[in-house]
Structure 1
Amino acid sequence: MAAHRPESKFAPSLWGDQFINYISDSKHGHHISTEIFGKWMDEKGNFKESIKSDAKGLLSLYEASYLRTRGEAILEYVPSFTTATLKSMMPNLGSPLKKQVERALVQPLHFGTPRIEARSYIAVYEEEEHKNETLIKFAKLDYNLLQMLHKEELRQFSRWDYGEISRLPEYMRPIYKDILELYNPYEEELAKEGRSYASYHAIERLKELARGYFEEAKWFLEGNLPPFEEYLKLGQITSTYDYLVTSSFLGIGSTRKEDFEWLSKKPKILVSTLIIGRLLDEIGSYEFETKRGQLAIGIESYMKDNGVTKEEAMDKFMELCTNAWIDNNEEMLRPSCYKSRDLLMHSLNLNRVTYAAYKDKEDGYTQPEKVLKPHIVGMLVDALEV
């Protein structure tokens, strides 16, 4: 267990630093016993009344619960307990703690995209009574420097090759063939690095994605609702996340042939990402698709199979997403089973992007102005004033 280090200049929380240590150790792949939480439980297994007045401690406990794994009975009860207690305390909280609690109750820190969360916390920390001005300045400079790098990358990605214009319609001149040809220059570069095997796996995932889209198209055109289990199996492919994760490995110079082979076997951490991507998409796009007269296959098939309402189906999807997050947490605690922790982070961060895109049952890809634009502007356009 991490050492107990109360923050200087702050009165120690009655929780000590236990939950902060739990979060830190779990995020870095270290197991820490949940027995540390037992001292704040009464004989009936409920949290003691005395802890319900410590908002900072409750917030840390709330955040820690989202890094839980299976078998951690205490932490399974924590989200509902801390959410209800923090909501009741909100009217009496001062800033910046109130802002932190408001944000956390909408989105736990573990679900957040790191750079977006960094920008948000800089603003919160500036309101702290005992803030360190030098630390704030360095944090802003770090943020702005990385933002400049992202802008340069975006400029490179956005270049248009006018020589390619002649290849566009009649009609869309085998798009599939063009996309496959996209990998030709990558193959040349990868061959120089002795990693020519990498593009093969990305292309195979792309073929698998195309086949999956074809099957889904048949469901739409025929108006058929497949059994939910059949839908979810195919939906993991058409989430596109298997293809995205595999393609992202191309840019990691340390990946080896066995890493791609491991990924092609659909390890649990990848499956958890596919499930989260598919089901949050279903929840976020349901209203928009039904208004357009489209068949929302995932939710409709679950409703049909189980005789439940739309709301009950969505609740079940959120439960499945929670279980997938727990799978992800467990796999992040087993880095010794894999070649590189960097590979695991790609799945974890893709989960975070998914959560940002489909938070609050909205579809950020269909309504980018409303959902994604604030994140994009904050990360790529507006620098922090130093």
Structure 2
Amino acid sequence: MEKHVIFLDSTSYEDWISEVDGNDLHAIALCFRLLRQQGYYVSCDAFRRFTDDQGDFKKELVNEVHEMLSLYEAAQFRVHGEEILDEALTFTITQLKLILPKLSNSQLAQQISNALKFSIKDGVVRVETRKCISFYQENHESSNQVLLNFAKLDFNIVQRLHKKELSDLTR
């Protein structure tokens, strides 16, 4: 399947990303990753605000595990020549591996372990969706039940459709 890359006008992206809290690395990384996953080329300059004067990622980011994980997943969608994302990938892999043993057997530890083993970029969409549903369901304090139920319903409908298509092929 051929994938088309769509270039967003940098000003429209900058306007859009400016609506996100400029200090919320998780939100910026998530927006960046989702746009890149859908074939949009967006600038990685939004990540520069999380670096120090030497161009290294700020050390205080290691205290924000969810943000580190989001940056790690976003960095996987880098293209050639995006040094800040190369640096982000190296930084987050190192830090997540150091953090992982300290998290014991938590849901977050499982999520990080899976992310380090299986690249989100190379994952099968439906399998990744199923993993996200499980992680989201276990995280009770922030789960939106309507969104969770919708995701489960969508997953089950698509799964039934695939089963039907397979059974039609074997007839």
TM-score, scaled to structure 2? 0.80
The 5 A counterparts of 1:92-241 are 92-93=102-103, 95-128=106-139, 129-159=141-171
Instruction: Give yes or no for contact 2:120–2:128 (8 Å, CA) kept in 1.
Output: yes
Task: Letter of the 1:124 partner, please give it.
Answer: F
Shift of 1:13: 6.6
Task: Letter of the 2:25 partner, please give it.
Answer: W
Instruction: Give yes or no for contact 1:119–1:143 (8 Å, CA) kept in 2.
Output: yes
Q: Secondary structure at the match of 2:41?
A: coil
Q: 1:141 to 1:130 in 2, by over 3 A?
A: same
Alignment partner, residue 61 of structure 1: 71
The 5 A counterparts of 1:44-55 are 44-55=54-65
Task: Letter of the 2:88 partner, please give it.
Answer: V
Deviations 1:116-163 (A, max 9, x none): 11111111111111212222222222211211111111112223xxxx
Instruction: Give yes or no for contact 1:13–1:57 (8 Å, CA) kept in 2.
Output: no
Instruction: Give yes or no for contact 1:65–1:78 (8 Å, CA) kept in 2.
Output: yes
Count residues with an aligned counterpart.
154
Task: Letter of the 1:137 partner, please give it.
Answer: N
Shift of 1:83: 0.8
Instruction: Give yes or no for contact 2:26–2:66 (8 Å, CA) kept in 1.
Output: no
Q: Secondary structure at the match of 1:109?
A: coil
The 5 A counterparts of 1:72-87 are 72-87=82-97
The 5 A counterparts of 1:1-386 are 1=13, 2-3=16-17, 4-5=19-20, 14-15=24-25, 17-93=27-103, 95-128=106-139, 129-159=141-171
Instruction: Give yes or no for contact 1:13–1:56 (8 Å, CA) kept in 2.
Output: no
Shift of 1:42: 2.2
Q: 1:66 to 1:40 in 2, by over 3 A?
A: same
Task: Letter of the 1:23 partner, please give it.
Answer: R
Task: Letter of the 1:38 partner, please give it.
Answer: R
What is the aligned-residue identity percentage? 34
Shift of 1:99: 1.9
Between the aligned partners of 2:121 and 2:34, the Cα distance in structure 1 is 11
Q: 1:42 to 1:87 in 2, by over 3 A?
A: same
Between the aligned partners of 2:145 and 2:44, the Cα distance in structure 1 is 36
**Aligned-residue RMSD, C-alpha:** 2.1
Between the aligned partners of 2:45 and 2:147, the Cα distance in structure 1 is 35
Between the aligned partners of 2:42 and 2:155, the Cα distance in structure 1 is 31
Structure 1 segments unaligned to the other structure (5+ residues): 7-11, 160-386
Structure 2 segments unaligned to the other structure (5+ residues): 1-12
Instruction: Give yes or no for contact 1:13–1:54 (8 Å, CA) kept in 2.
Output: no
TM-score, scaled to structure 1? 0.37
Q: 1:14 to 1:139 in 2, by over 3 A?
A: closer
Task: Letter of the 1:98 partner, please give it.
Answer: A
Quick check: which has more Rg, 1 or 2? Answer: 1
Q: 1:16 to 1:157 in 2, by over 3 A?
A: closer
Q: 1:37 to 1:138 in 2, by over 3 A?
A: closer
